[in-house]
A and B are shown apart, each in its own frame.
Chain A
């Protein structure tokens, strides 16, 4: 009896809180309410069809200059080239592993180009296209996959945090960072990337809760690429993922993740909401992992070729090119120039990676603590002495 009434009270309290939150956000919301109705119908926000036809959407307009359009195309082509190069380098033994973004270029370039320099990105391990947009040198991404470091770039120099392998963790970091932005009174926004599989993690659910409660300026960008290694999205959810947001009290939208224009428009709108105090938003970019999960994976074990082939017809780069050619935004000379640039990038990536030296073994003891630690000092010294004992032995061997 007592237990029951406590539970009852709790539900009422939670319920009323949510209602208040919802009222507050809908009062301030710039995104029209019919956006919610729209998503309720399970519709993808799409601005460019797979055939390369430009279509309009009532809530997400976009008007780009020819130069901007060409830029998006170039970004996607170069990102795909870099990715293919990395896959090859893994095959050749130059990298230990590679997680390909093949097929997800539009989701990453569209959302990445929506960001301002002062915004902050929390990626997974597959956001090579977003890294590109942030100006992180692509070769920097390869260190951890080669096994020479566990990150290797300064997150603050491009407002692009380190790759996070432990699924879902970064959603909370993004939320906390956004809480800090809010406390500072800044109008920057934060974006957290994660996958369909990650949507099952407690950390992601908790990030939704915190960001909703504090109305934090964070955008959750979920690339639903249909697979979490061998598990299809149905193993993670019974509702379309974007609908999860509703229960937390912020809007969710499903966007065609292979449509760079739609990804750009929706992410811009979401970031704008965040900047103007309207709190978090969830974007589900509906896309497809065209390759294996990583170079260690063999997708023939769990998915049908036909499925992959069907998604080939929705290729993000092809559809943009078709559109740009039809509109006369690009000509053969431009396409050839991008092609040449991509070859040059591939060459630079190959050369840089092959020349990447192995770290010095004493790096094991570096940067473990900001303020130092006696045990680390002791073990570092012991290890150095141990290694020196071999140098001595080598010298003796040489003398003899």
Chain B
């Protein structure tokens, strides 16, 4: 059995962890509540039962400790896959991630590898309290030595995690928590798409929407609505935020002449800013409009009763599409 016609994104991650652990006895899963409970989102459900407490580890409640010891385990030859319970709780580990994990390979002149994968359920849309809905990816993508990826569907979730685990660099794997229960197709024997390559999720000719993680679905919905209005929107799923596959975006923009970048994270100094700068540089004479961004404000993530207005949704993205097409 290799094809799941409809599998949730969270079950795909579970299957991916399972496959990685079966393939390599050095792969460990560690974090708060990942064992007996199977994680607060049940992403690691059943893994401890099947792989034992030695490999699926309920850690003390200390993120710096989790990442710091994962680094040590990696130095000893293990491949720890660490779960941070929610986006807003990664910061006690930020020091370990930025000053140690990211730089160790370089400091050792390439003599050591630190293949730690940090899974972070991130972004909003689930009506949660403070610190449970943030999009901190730019804070990690900004750091040399880290790779950052974010899947938008079950197949990518499955393959990208295994690729991240198999790779020798530290990877921050951002899981779009509001898509955990979304179902899509997964073929576990397909030839995997390259980890850091963007993908055209919906071809179009008038305008390019670039997004990743939870916003890909919003952009696909936008493309549908726009199509009804006679506008052909291409959606590029970036998939990887460090490195970013600028070539694929460039190719798309050369064709459409317009780019709107969409993410939940604040736009100020975010992924969209980087894309705007690079694509403007690469496609200056192809652009019919300035690169626009739709994203979070320079504000703390608001209380949940305001998140629908804060988050980029159909209306806000369509508004940007209209503005870009009006040039």
Q: Is the CB of B129 within 8 A of A165?
A: yes
Cβ-based interface call for A24 (8 A): no
Enumerate chain A residues within 8 angstroms of B40, measured Cβ to Cβ.
229, 296-297
Bitwise interface map of B from 256 to 292 toward A, beta carbon under 8 Å scored 1, else 0: 0000000000001000000000000000000000000
Q: Is the CB of B298 within 8 A of A359?
A: no
Enumerate chain B residues within 8 angstroms of A147, measured Cβ to Cβ.
127, 129, 303-307
Contact of B130 among A144, A201, A229, A297 (CB under 8 A): A144
State in angstroms the CA–CA spacing of A234 and B40 once bound together.
19
Residues of A210-265 whose CB lies within 8 A of B: 228-231, 235-236
Enumerate chain A residues within 8 angstroms of B300, measured Cβ to Cβ.
150, 368
CB distance from A194 to the nearest CB of B (A): 10
Enumerate chain A residues within 8 angstroms of B315, measured Cβ to Cβ.
390
Bitwise interface map of A from 354 to 384 toward B, beta carbon under 8 Å scored 1, else 0: 0000110101110010000101100100010
Can you spell out 10 A-B residue pairs with CB atoms less than 8 angstroms apart? A97-B129, A148-B303, A166-B89, A201-B62, A228-B32, A231-B61, A301-B38, A368-B298, A368-B299, A389-B319
Task: Apart from A96-B129, A229-B33, A301-B36, list 12 A-B contacts with CB within 8 A.
Answer: A144-B129, A147-B307, A150-B302, A166-B131, A197-B61, A201-B61, A202-B64, A358-B306, A375-B298, A379-B298, A386-B316, A389-B319
Q: Is the CB of A375 within 8 A of B305?
A: no
Residues of B109-136 whose CB lies within 8 A of A: 127-131
Enumerate chain A residues within 8 angstroms of B316, measured Cβ to Cβ.
386
Residues of A88-144 whose CB lies within 8 A of B: 96-97, 143-144
State in angstroms the CA–CA spacing of A313 and B297 once bound together.
51
Cβ-based interface call for B137 (8 A): no
Q: Is the CB of A364 within 8 A of B305?
A: no
CB distance from B300 to the nearest CB of A (A): 7
Cβ-based interface call for A200 (8 A): yes
Enumerate chain B residues within 8 angstroms of A167, measured Cβ to Cβ.
61, 89
State in angstroms the CA–CA spacing of A390 and B318 once bound together.
13
How many contacts A-B (CB < 8 Å)? 117
CB distance from B267 to the nearest CB of A (A): 9
CB distance from B91 to the nearest CB of A (A): 8
Q: Is the CB of A96 within 8 A of B128?
A: yes
Enumerate chain A residues within 8 angstroms of B166, measured Cβ to Cβ.
none
Contact of A302 among B37, B65, B129 (CB under 8 A): B37
CB within 8 Å of A: which residues of B?
Answer: 32-33, 35-38, 40, 58-62, 64-65, 88-89, 91-92, 127-131, 268, 297-300, 302-307, 309-310, 315-316, 319
Q: Is the CB of A230 within 8 A of B36?
A: yes
Contact of B309 among A146, A202, A364, A373 (CB under 8 A): A364
Enumerate chain A residues within 8 angstroms of B319, measured Cβ to Cβ.
386, 389
State in angstroms the CA–CA spacing of A25 and B315 once bound together.
64
Enumerate chain B residues within 8 angstroms of A72, measured Cβ to Cβ.
none
Bitwise interface map of A from 273 to 301 toward B, beta carbon under 8 Å scored 1, else 0: 00000000000000000000000110001
Enumerate chain A residues within 8 angstroms of B89, measured Cβ to Cβ.
166-167
Contact of A364 among B32, B304, B310 (CB under 8 A): B310
Enumerate chain A residues within 8 angstroms of B35, measured Cβ to Cβ.
230
CB distance from B97 to the nearest CB of A (A): 14
State in angstroms the CA–CA spacing of A200 and B298 once bound together.
33
Q: Is the CB of B36 within 8 A of A379?
A: no
Q: Is the CB of A200 within 8 A of B129?
A: no
Q: Is the CB of B268 within 8 A of A375?
A: yes
Q: Is the CB of A150 within 8 A of B303?
A: yes
State in angstroms the CA–CA spacing of A166 and B65 once bound together.
15
**Known A96-B304, A358-B305: A236·B130 in contact at CB below 8 Å:** no
Enumerate chain B residues within 8 angstroms of A383, measured Cβ to Cβ.
297
Q: Is the CB of B303 within 8 A of A359?
A: yes
CB distance from B134 to the nearest CB of A (A): 11
Cβ-based interface call for A317 (8 A): no
Q: Is the CB of A363 within 8 A of B306?
A: yes
Shortest 5 CB-CB distances between A and B: which pairs?
A147-B304, A230-B37, A200-B60, A197-B61, A147-B305
Enumerate chain A residues within 8 angstroms of B59, measured Cβ to Cβ.
235
Enumerate chain B residues within 8 angstroms of A49, measured Cβ to Cβ.
none
Q: Is the CB of B65 within 8 A of A200?
A: yes
State in angstroms the CA–CA spacing of A221 and B32 once bound together.
23
